[in-house]
Amino acid sequence: MKIAVPTKDNNQIDSHFGHCTFYTIYTVSEKNEITDKQILHSPAGCGCKSNIAFDLSDMDVKVMLAGGIGEGAINKLSSCNIQVIRNCQGDVDESVNAYLTGNLKDGGASCQSHAHGSHHDCNSNHKD
């Protein structure tokens, strides 16, 4: 299984899925152990308008640990059989380990965008 995490340069989960610098992709063994970690640079533009869901699916990603993420992106990822865990925050390595031990659950409420542009109003408790 593979897990993708939208990441900022300081190894933190990016609070806006579609604006992240890159995705950290973790390969996880059947024993829930991380066996590989790689970087996938984010495509230009908003996540839900890019091909990132298809790229991640082609890489066999099954889970996305996201900070703020809109319904359009969730729908696109879901259509590629990628489960989205919302409202994640903090260090990407710690978050993946928390997920693997069952200590990270979906936080509910996604980002709400009144107009799909460069600014999103997010209902989460994230700080950039």
Q: How far is CA 3 from CA 13, 57, 69, 114, 116, in A?
A: 13, 11, 16, 29, 27
Expressed as residue numbers, the domain containing 62 is: 2-103
CB atoms within 10 A of CB 32: 12
How many angstroms separate the CA atoms of 90 and 83, rounded? 19
Main-chain dihedrals φ then ψ at residue 107, nearest 5 degrees = -90, 5
Q: Report the number of distinct structural domains present in the chain.
A: 1
Task: Report pLDDT for 106.
Answer: 83
Confidence of residue 21 (pLDDT cuts 50, 70, 90): confident
pLDDT, one tens digit per residue, over 38-95 is 999 887 656 666 788 999 999 999 999 999 888 888 999 999 999 999 999 999 999 9
| Cβ atoms of 76 and 82 closer than 8 Å | no
Could you identify the residue written with the tokens 């590629």?
80
pLDDT at 110: 55
pLDDT at 124: 35
110 inside domain: no
* Residue-wise pLDDT tens digits, 92-127: 999 999 999 999 888 776 554 433 343 333 333 333
Is 124 within the bounds of a domain? no
Is residue 123 one of the residues assigned to a domain?
Answer: no
CATH code (residue 59)? 3.30.420.130
pLDDT for the residue 48: 62
For tokens 């066996």, the residue is 35
